[in-house]
Amino acid sequence: MEDDRNLHEQLASLHTISVEIAGLHNLAEIHDKALGYCLALTGSEFAFTGLLRDARVGVVASGELKASEHVMDVAAIKGFEPSPSFYQMFHLMALRSSVVGVVIREDRSYITNDVPGDRRSVGQPEGHPPIRRFLGVSLRLRGEVIGMIGVANKPGGYGPEDERLLSTFAAQVAVAVDNARLYESQRRMIAELQELHQRLTEAERTQLLGRERERIAGALHDRIEQQIFSIGVRLNAMLEDRSMDQRLVGQLGEIRRLSIGASYEVRRAIFALTTPDHEQLDLTDRVGALLHELERNSGIQAHLSLYGKSTAAVETVSDAAYLVIDEALTNVKKHSHARTVLVSLRFENDRLYFVVQDDGNGAPAVVLQTYRNSYLHFGLRHIHQLVIDRGGSFEVANGEEAGLVMKASIPFEARQQ
């Protein structure tokens, strides 16, 4: 009757313990709780849980790397506090047919109450407390061994009752370990899905912003810039009227100058909108993109030559240089009937030199003589003024054999410290 009562109490205690452990999701907490109960249930001095690792994991022993078909990671220890260096060296165990290894290799419980004299004993690493008595049971899940629980140094030794009690408890621990792994896997999966959702959301926002920027840039180009151009054309016609009062000519000229400045700012805004911040290119890349676009849309062969090395100072003039080159290439496409165009960039210490040269028809002499003051050649006049206003030099002339050659230079601006 006494034995039945003790068995009933043990089973009731196991049930309570199992329910508690089953409610845990953290592996470290499961190991800690389980080992605490193992010590209490068996009256042992210390206990450990070990989980199988990938067979390809190597184990350092005696300074050599050894391989084993079974490698166990001592996941937790109770009753013995190993130093960090000791744990780092010995927590991975190559499982041979030792007192510990037989539990996993042969998938069975093992009891020995004379560890030093046991034929399977292989000794202990220096710094490990002496093991005199040992009981090990396997952790099994869905018919496969996933690890083991070991207890040691019970006063009086271990018997079949201890083995049955610990094996029953080990089955619950194995389920709790598996649940914790699944829980952690789900948490990682949820975190990855949330990260993916965030990336997709960010991509959608970026795409939406890109479309909106393109819409605004298109509106600026198709409406505002064209309206400014129309204003310029009408002003040109008025300014060409020789009978107009000279005071009015001066006022209209000032309005024309303001319209040129407005056109320049609109073009800068269009470029900023169509080149997102995360895709900001240096001047070389931007000019290269212009030439690629010219080739694609017109069939004109476009080439880029570079001399010297671009520096951070180039950024101070890159917008202006880009607009000048863009306008020059637009003229090549519209008016030159060229087959080839060459853009050259030369980076000096204090300024940027650039040349746009084509093999087309060139320009009439009257245009080359009057474009600086004529309001009929808005583009050429505009880029000339743009360069001169920045302290640069500008020259345009017909080539020796064919085509038009535009040469310009712009000094770098002093950066604010």
Say which CATH number the domain at 86 has.
Answer: 3.30.450.40
Statement: residue 351 has pLDDT above 70:
yes
365 three-class SS? helix
CATH number of the domain to which 361 belongs: 3.30.565.10
Do 144 and 43 reside in the same domain of the chain? yes
Do 172 and 321 reside in the same domain of the chain? no
C-alpha separations of 159 from 107, 113, 311 in Å: 18, 9, 82
Average per-residue pLDDT for the chain: 79
User: DSSP assignment, residue 278?
Assistant: G
**Separation between Cα atoms, residue 188 and residue 191, nearest integer Å:** 5
Q: Which of left, alpha, beta for 191 (phi over 0: left; psi -120 to 50: alpha)?
A: alpha
Q: Does 329 fall in a domain? A: yes
> What pLDDT, in 10s, does the model give residues 153-210?
999 999 998 888 888 888 888 888 888 777 777 778 877 777 777 766 666 666 767 7
User: Which stretch of 38-42, 148-152, 348-352, 402-406 has the lowest confidence by average pLDDT?
Assistant: 38-42
Q: Are the C-beta atoms of 379 and 327 separated by less than 8 Å?
A: yes
Q: Are the C-beta atoms of 341 and 294 separated by less than 8 Å?
A: yes
Q: What is the mean pLDDT of residues 49-56?
A: 71
Q: What is the mean pLDDT of residues 121-125?
A: 82
Do 14 and 162 reside in the same domain of the chain? yes
Final residue of a domain: which of 131, 163, 190? Answer: 190
Final residue of a domain: which of 159, 190, 221? Answer: 190
- Helix residue ranges, H only, 23-79: 27-42
Statement: residue 4 has pLDDT above 70:
no
Q: Does 204 fall in a domain? A: no
pLDDT score of 1: 45
Q: What is the mean pLDDT of residues 102-125?
A: 88
- Per the structure block, which two tokens stand in for 332? 């090549």
Do 13 and 146 reside in the same domain of the chain? yes
Statement: residue 280 has pLDDT above 60:
no
Q: Which residue has the higher pLDDT, 338 or 264?
A: 338
pLDDT score of 61: 42
Q: Does 208 fall in a domain? A: no
Total of domains in the chain: 2
Nearest alpha carbon to residue 70 among 118, 138, 129, 126: 138
C-alpha separations of 10 from 1, 130, 135, 172, 254 in Å: 14, 29, 18, 15, 102
Q: Does 200 fall in a domain? A: no
Q: Which residue has the higher pLDDT, 3 or 382?
A: 382
Contacts 24+ apart (CB under 8 A), 140-143: 140/107, 140/170, 140/171, 140/174, 141/174, 141/175, 141/177, 141/178
Final residue of a domain: which of 143, 164, 190? Answer: 190
Do 179 and 294 reside in the same domain of the chain? no
Domain assignment of residue 388, given as a range = 281-417
- Per the structure block, which two tokens stand in for 406? 């535009």
Q: Does 105 fall in a domain? A: yes
Q: For strand 340-347 and strand 301-307, is the pairing parallel, antiparallel, or unpaired?
A: parallel
Do 13 and 158 reside in the same domain of the chain? yes
* Beta-carbon count within 10 A of 240 CB: 11
Q: Does 247 fall in a domain? A: no
Q: Does 152 fall in a domain? A: yes
Q: Does 61 fall in a domain? A: yes
Q: 380 has which bridge partners? A: none
Do 311 and 181 reside in the same domain of the chain? no
Where residue 416 falls among pLDDT bands split at 50, 70, 90? very low
Statement: residue 56 has pLDDT above 50:
no
One-letter amino acid at 390 equals R
pLDDT score of 101: 85
> What pLDDT, in 10s, does the model give residues 62-113?
434 344 456 888 888 888 888 888 888 877 877 777 888 888 888 889 999 9
pLDDT score of 22: 61
